[in-house]
Amino acid sequence: MANSQFKPHAILFPLPYQGHINPFVNLAIKLASKGFTITFVHFESVHQRLSKSQNSNTNNEIDFFSEARKSGLDIRYTTINDGFPLEFDRYINYVEFWKSLLQDFPARVDDFIGEIMQSEQSMVTFLIADTFFSWPPTIAKKYNIVNVSFFTQPALVYSIGHYPLKESVVEEINYIPGVKSISTKDLMHFLKEGEIKTMQHEVCSMAFQEVKKADFVLINTVQELESETLDDLNKKQPIYAIGPISSFLTKITVSKSLWYESECTKWLESKPLNSVLYVSFGSVSQTNKQVIQEIAHGLVLSEVNFIWVVRENIVKSDGINILPDGFKDEIGDKGLIIPWCDQPLVLSNPAVGGFLTHCGWNSTIESILCSTPMICYPIEFDQPTNKKLVVDDWKIGINLHDGDLIHRDEVAKNIRILMTGTDSLGFKQEIEKLKNVMHKAIEKDGSSERNFDHFVEDLKDKIY
């Protein structure tokens, strides 16, 4: 750390979704390793799911950071009640849940942070909350703490959210500073026509508005990968690219998975190098039975080995028997179908040679860190925009299809292109370069480490 006398205390507050929890936990470890005191807050519903995923009972005494503390890190752990019963499904009923995050939750956070401020012996100096919360500016002001926003997605998404889009309908948007040009089909889904009045649009628009009041913004990206966009954003607000913040790079184990992780290593060990396609659409996004069936047939037609994460809530309705009849018998030992796994562990296995992904930002980073080229099938949120980075800008993957409906032949064809086609070597070479950029960024004199030190210096100036 820049100054060994400086021991700031941060409250870390992620959204209760896997793609936000993971980078927040990893950030907590990074900050604590640099000498910070951390009070980490999970929603009670997250605490319960984490407990269940480990097959332990849901007793509230479990402290997921105890291992970290044994390693000498000062991470305290607490939970907040969001006002819904534990059995309320915050994924399926997200409209109701998000509405309450905007309306009722801020008052709860106010009381909750008030209590922490009174009870902590070591003074809390700042808050690091997820950018998608809109309450931090008010709360930080009330308790006189520095407001740091952590954006868990790329700078490109932040930039598009930052600047209002013009109303005229054009196919190509080329007026966003720091963004060369982006097709409207690659925008975040909540900015697209027809979505403008949805709850997701309201929450996201409000968040991008409120984050402008943050004292500092940390982004889980790398300067060299998004330099133009970051340089422009930095003119508006102090923004620090400190990524990649990933489980691969933390040696301390903290339970993060909201679902029980199936074991895949043994199966993978029986497969040749680079022969397995890993298929997963992350933790939240849903599709429909037809898409699942076309993917299933496409996998068979492609003749590659595969691991497929078919999450319990992967389709909106028709939840049971979504795979084609007899599918599991047909694939035999060529495929492994599981409800959830330790994704970084699977991706880093040498047998894995490709990733059919929804392009969640964590998945994208994890894929790059393992030099695993991608087939992109974005569904919503930031995924279409992340796909643009992967396919158009970085050329480390291919696009499966724009829009919902896909055909099995298209799936099989793209899998073959990625895994064995003449371009597959090119994707491998490009992604290897990006992997090196990411690793360099977090070395001692790398850009993310330097940005992190600047953040600490600037924080210190703000506090004293």
CB of 225 to ligand UDP, least distance (A): 16
Q: How far apart are CA 410 and CA 96, in angstroms?
A: 37
Binding site for ligand UDP (CB under 6 A): 17-19, 22, 257, 280, 282-285, 309, 340-344, 360-363, 366
The secondary structure of 381-408 as a DSSP string is TTHHHHHHIIIIIS-SEEE--SSS---H
Widest Cα–Cα separation across the chain: 67
Nearer to ligand UDP, 353 or 360 (CB): 360
Sign for the CA dihedral angle at 364, 286, 64, 38 comes to: positive
- The CB-of-352 to ligand UDP minimum distance in angstroms stands at 13
Whether 359 and 378 have beta carbons less than 8 Å apart is answered as: yes
Name the token pair of 353. Answer: 């040679």
Using CA atoms, how far apart are residues 396 and 429, in angstroms rounded to an integer?
Answer: 8
233 Rama class: left (phi>0) / alpha (psi -120 to 50) / beta = alpha
Please identify, using beta-carbon distances, which residue of 171 and 312 lies nearer to ligand UDP: 312
Which segments of 331-452 are extended strands (E)? Answer: 335-338, 352-357, 374-376, 397-399
CB of 246 to ligand UDP, least distance (A): 8
Closer to ligand UDP by CB, 204 or 456: give it: 204
Distance in Å, CB of 381 to ligand UDP, minimum: 7
- Of residues 218, 216, 195, 217, the one with CA closest to residue 205: 195
Gyration radius (Cα) of the chain, Å: 22
For residues 18 and 125, which CB has a smaller minimum distance to ligand UDP in the complex? 18
Closest approach, Cβ 158 to ligand UDP, in A, equals 15
Q: Supply the minimum distance, in Å, between the C-beta of residue 286 and ligand UDP.
A: 10
Between residues 237 and 286, which has the closer beta carbon with respect to ligand UDP? 286
- Backbone phi, then psi, for 442, in 5-degree steps? -105, 10
Helix and strand element counts for the chain (H, E): 18, 15
The answer to whether 50 touches 64, Cβ cutoff 8 Å, is yes
Residue 200 CB, shortest distance to ligand UDP, in Å, is 13
Pairing of strands 172-173, 182-183: antiparallel
Closer to ligand UDP by Cβ: residue 186 or 366: 366
Residue 280 Cβ vs ligand UDP, minimum distance, rounded to whole Å: 5
By beta-carbon proximity to ligand UDP, the closer residue of 215 and 226 is 226
- Give the nearer residue to ligand UDP in terms of CB position, either 50 or 459: 50
